[in-house]
Amino acid sequence: MTPGQRRFALTTHLTISLGWIGAVVAYLALGVSAVTSEDVQTVRAAWRAMELTGWFAIVPMALASLLTGLVMALGTPWGLFRHYWVLFSFVLTIVANVVLLLHMPDVSVLADVAQEAEGASLAGLGGDLLHPGLGLVVLLVITVLNVYKPLGLTPYGWRKQHEQRKVSQP
């Protein structure tokens, strides 16, 4: 990648990844609203909004973040398998995507239940706080890894670095 392409890819990746975090925070706020409100309409609206936020903001941004992160890893000297922090970030992003995609159908079912439920049964529905709460923690761990870039080359990274030093020495 040229420096300009790299900056564009990085800007795209950061924008999408930060959007993913923001959408999860919005989803959490809706979940808290569903748990704490005694108003039936508010709880119904919160569940419908969580479903829409999940499918139309969080899922696309999560998948795009995975894709743009892969482009960044493969198109830059960091590589995908050279540094532990890149590899851990990638694995955590895959796990977050899988959990998200497995959880979203349940959110849709609960949103439908919230639309049909009455009074007391609606209050028992609660909100969805565990998945987005843990998801936010995972996203923040990934962010910290990507900002601080802890030292540590994988065995593959050591081998590649050693090969590059051999080639560059006369």
pLDDT digits (tens, 9 = 90+) for 42-100: 999 999 999 999 999 999 999 999 999 999 999 988 889 999 999 999 999 999 999 99
- Reported as a pLDDT band with limits 50, 70 and 90, residue 170 is low
DSSP 23-77: HHHHHHHHHHHHHH---HHHHHHHHHHHHHHIIIIIHHHHHHHHHHHHHHHHHST
Calculate mean pLDDT across residues 126-150. 93
pLDDT in tens, 86-125: 999 999 999 999 999 999 999 999 999 999 887 767 767 7
- How far apart, in whole angstroms, are the C-alpha atoms of residue 162 and residue 125? 57
Asked whether residue 17 carries a pLDDT value surpassing 80, the answer given is yes
How many domains is the chain partitioned into structurally? 1
Percent of residues, the chain, with pLDDT higher than 70: 98
pTM of the model: 0.90
Bridge partners, residue 83, by sequence: 153
Residue 114 burial (CB count, 10 A): 22
pLDDT at 164: 84
Quote the domain boundaries for residue 11: 3-168
Asked whether residue 18 carries a pLDDT value surpassing 80, the answer given is yes
Contacts 24+ apart (CB under 8 A), 47-51: 47/110, 47/111, 47/114, 47/115, 47/125, 48/111, 48/114, 48/115, 50/107, 50/111, 50/127, 50/128, 51/107, 51/108, 51/111
Percent of residues, the chain, with pLDDT higher than 90: 71
